Amino acid sequence: MQPMKSVYRLETEAGEEVAAHVEVADRILSRFLGLMFRDSLAAGHGLAIRPCNSVHMFFMRFPLDVLFVDGNGTVLRVVDSIKPWRASTLVRGAKAAIELPAGTAARAGVAPGTVVRMVEA
């Protein structure tokens, strides 16, 4: 039996919800696989990859928004709607990448300088 995955709610410092169901990839295999080979990522869902300071979209089937955050949860860079078969640049100081459905960052008003936090759901 596999251990239950922790699920988090991603919210801004002001308590506004960005995503209700965020899983964490913090082991070698889960970080490597990320969201590869999935058909989609439902609205309100996401994947936090840590440690991570760049992402690739190889073997992906849909675009994503990616928030690169530092150790305090401050968003350093937002990559809007990165398409399959692309790669992000390296983001200096990033400790994690939070992958969300395309359009989520803009809808939630998340931009560089926004502070986000993951709260256990």
pLDDT tens-digit map of 72-101: 999 999 999 999 999 999 999 999 999 999
CATH architecture group of domain 7-120: Sandwich (2.60)
Instruction: Say if residues 106 and 75 touch (Cβ distance below 8 Å).
Output: no
Does the bond joining 51 to the residue before it have cis omega, within 30 degrees of 0?
Answer: yes
Q: How confident is the model at residue 2 (pLDDT cuts 50, 70, 90)?
A: very low
Cα–Cα nearest to 50, from 78, 75, 70: 70
The whole-number pLDDT of residue 1 equals 43
Q: How confident is the model at residue 113 (pLDDT cuts 50, 70, 90)?
A: very high
The whole-number pLDDT of residue 17 equals 97
CA 56, CA 60: separation in Å to the nearest integer?
Answer: 9
pTM of the model: 0.94
One-letter amino acid of 77: R
